[in-house]
Amino acid sequence: MKERKNTIPLILGTLLLFLSAFLLLLFFYNKVLKPDLASEGSKTIYVRVIVPDEEEQEFTIVTDAETLREALDEKKLIGGEESTYGFLITEVNGRKADSSRQEWWCLTKDGEFSEFGVDMIKIQDQDRYELTLMEGY
């Protein structure tokens, strides 16, 4: 009987040890090894690049970015410079606006002019934007 009393704590201790090891391995897997299934992002936006006399291009961007600029920067789709009014887009998909020809990039959402700059526009799932190369100020 005395032997049986000593066996029960030993079995419980062993089970507790295995349970602790299992929980630690599960935690490690979830934090370190588990593939990030949401790595692509939770929002999908569409960006059309329009250059006169050239074929239009459409980009599908899947992102977790908050602003349009962050999403476009992630895909290295735009270039530009900071100004007193915000970020000024001077290049889209490798095509630079030529200031000597008074070219500039116009940002629209669903064909409507944007009231805000690219770095202030909060994106939502399924938004559609257009970046059109314009000529003349």
The domains of the chain are located at 1-34, 43-135
When pLDDT is cut at 50, 70 and 90, the band that residue 10 belongs to is confident
* The token pair that represents 112 in the structure block: 């409507």
Residue 72 scores a pLDDT above 80: yes
Q: What is the pTM of this model?
A: 0.69
Percent of the chain with pLDDT over 90: 64
Q: With the C-alpha atoms ordered 65, 69, 71, 76, is the resulting torsion angle positive or negative?
A: negative
Residues 47-63: pLDDT tens digits? 999 999 999 999 999 99
Residues 97-117: pLDDT tens digits? 999 999 999 999 999 998 899
Average confidence (pLDDT) over 25-40? 68
DSSP summary character for residue 111: T
pLDDT of residue 36: 56
- Domain 43-135: which CATH class? mainly beta
DSSP summary character for residue 114: P
DSSP codes joined into one string, 4-63: HHHHHHHHHHHHHHHHHHHHHHHHHIIIIIS--TTTT-SEEEEEEEE-TTS--EEEEEEE
pLDDT of residue 3: 64
C-beta separation of 17 from 9 below 8 A: no
